[in-house]
Structure 1
Amino acid sequence: MPFRSKETLERWVDEFHEARGAGERIKVIVQDGTDGADTGLVVVPLENATVTIFMQPAEVGAASWRVTIEPQPDTTILNSHQLHAMAVELSVAAELCAYLEARSVGHEETAVD
């Protein structure tokens, strides 16, 4: 079944970072897939909030991605500059999600046993 390996996602995130010049804190972490497949989970930490954004395909093999914003344990209080910086980070996350969806269209990669 087609999926995106952690290695593939790391390459895509690196290419996005090089092309966009943003998202240096974005990383791919190990996520155990079906039968122990080497899948990745894209993590976008936010500098001005205690929340992290996670991205992953909506389902294995799908070109569409979903974004999860974890619950925030603390109240975030920002000044206007910090809020603007957070808005920029969210914009970069949205661009990355669209980029990953575009790269996923027609991508075929199968797990190696």
Structure 2
Amino acid sequence: MTFLSRGTIEQWVEEFRSSRRLSATTVFVMRQDGAAGANTGLVGVQLTHPSVTLYMEPESPSSETWLVTFEPREMVAVLDAASVARLSAELATTSEL
């Protein structure tokens, strides 16, 4: 994999969003200034069960491995079985992305 510009990532996310019929607020591109002022981006995902934001980025500019970072939560999340199933579905979609 080569370096992906923010424009390339935005196009890629839009194609995924369109093919999966996701809402515009579920998956988004966050601005990130790369090395030497490169125009890069992070892929952000807003989970709803529980509400948490995560972001994805390549491990390195030449890596095919993407890393997922979960932003910290202020409160502990306690979920029933149905909510765990919804979280599982959201994470499965995120992994497909």
- Quickly name the TM-score band, shorter chain normalised: 0.7 to 0.9
- Aligned to 2:4, what secondary structure does the other structure show? coil
| TM-score, length-scaled by structure 2 | 0.84
Residue 19 of structure 1: how far off its partner (Å): 1.9
Where does structure 1 lack aligned partners over 5 or more consecutive residues?
A: 97-113
- Give yes or no for the alignment of 1:6 onto 2:6: yes
Residue type at the aligned position of 1:35: A
- Sequence identity (%): 37
1:7-34 CA distances to partner (integer Å, 9 max, x unpaired)?
1111101111222233641000100100
Paired residues, number: 95
- Give yes or no for the alignment of 1:32 onto 2:27: no
Higher relative contact order (CA 8 A, sep 6+): 1
| TM-score, length-scaled by structure 1 | 0.74
Residue 69 of structure 1: how far off its partner (Å): 1.7
Deviating beyond 3 angstroms after TM superposition, the runs of 4 or more aligned structure 1 residues are none
- Aligned to 1:81, what secondary structure does the other structure show? helix
Q: Which residue is 2:92 aligned to? A: 91
- Give yes or no for the alignment of 1:49 onto 2:50: yes
Residue type at the aligned position of 1:86: L
CA RMSD of aligned residues (A): 1.7
The CA distance in 2 between the partners of 1:23 and 1:34, in whole Å, is 31
